[in-house]
Amino acid sequence: MRVLVFGAGGRMGATVCEAVAGDPDLELVAGIDPGAAGRRDATDSIVIEASTDTVDAAVVDVAIDFTVAAAARDNIAWCAANGVHAIVGTSGLDPDDFERCRAEFTASNCLIAPNFAIGAVLMMRFAEIAAPFFPTAEVIELHHDNKVDAPSGTAMATVRKMAEASDDWAPDPTRDEVLPGARGGKGTAQIPVHSVRLRGLVAHQEVLLGTAGETLTIRHDSLDRVSFMPGVLLAAKTIADHPGVTIGLDAYLHL
């Protein structure tokens, strides 16, 4: 598969470029990043372009996007219009974006995943399994201090899966919130979500579940961006086998 990387000049994009270039089944053919145009990518394989205007879509099979939501929407549309498979790990996309993708991707496929770390996908699945057995839950997501959106896509996907698995949640007992926001934001089913942004972190999440006399904590830690690469590479190699638009890496892992 011939791969284009959106955001090739950023830290995540550079890691993707290195992973793709190092895989014998994939070929890095293009990189897009307006802020790094004219530079060589992290593997010295390609010159990064400012936009898709100078890219021949015919030489691209799949594009990988780790940018920001506003840019990703345009990148996704370019993929759909040119019959290029799209793998999207950018946070901030919403159900309206998903529906737009379902309408636009008729000649190629699209995967939008909140997290590509295998352990994070399993964490979400474990939380979904546990949800019916615990009437109270809270999610704490922790990321590096350059992450611009909150809560993370992983946290939002987690509470959505938990809410789909159970509709029996105890109400928040808080009556006096001394510091506004102290109880965090409220996700699906009013499950509280707390976001931490701290220098030195990469990507981490805890799901806390409680019932009478016991608690369960499910935690995942990505200590390096390379943790996302096995999922990204799996997606790049198999996206052609998953027609239409897929939300989440679960289907690719047969969970």
CA dist 195 and 253 (Å) reads 27
Average pLDDT of span 75-96: 94
Average pLDDT of span 84-95: 92
Domain that holds residue 186: 118-222
Query: For position 28, what pLDDT does the model report?
Result: 97
Please count the structural domains in the chain.
2
Q: Decide which of 102 and 94 is more confident.
A: 102
CA dist 53 and 219 (Å) reads 42
Same domain for 6 and 99? yes
Q: 228 near 116, Cβ under 8 Å?
A: yes
Same domain for 77 and 144? no
Average pLDDT of span 227-249: 96
CATH number for position 18? 3.40.50.720
Same domain for 130 and 153? yes
Same domain for 16 and 100? yes
Same domain for 148 and 182? yes
Query: For position 148, what pLDDT does the model report?
Result: 86
pLDDT, the chain, mean: 95
Cis peptide bond upstream of 24, omega within 30: no
Same domain for 8 and 30? yes
pTM to 2 decimal places: 0.87
pLDDT over 90 (residue 42): no
pLDDT over 90 (residue 22): yes
Same domain for 106 and 127? no
CATH number for position 208? 3.30.360.10
| Catalytic site positions | 143, 147
Same domain for 132 and 147? yes
Read off the pLDDT of residues 106-161 as tens digits, 9 standing for 90 and up.
999 999 999 999 999 999 999 999 999 999 999 999 999 999 889 999 999 999 99
* Percent of the residues in the chain that have a pLDDT greater than 70, as a whole number: 100
Q: How confident is the model at residue 55 (pLDDT cuts 50, 70, 90)?
A: very high
For residue 216 the two structure tokens come to 């369960």
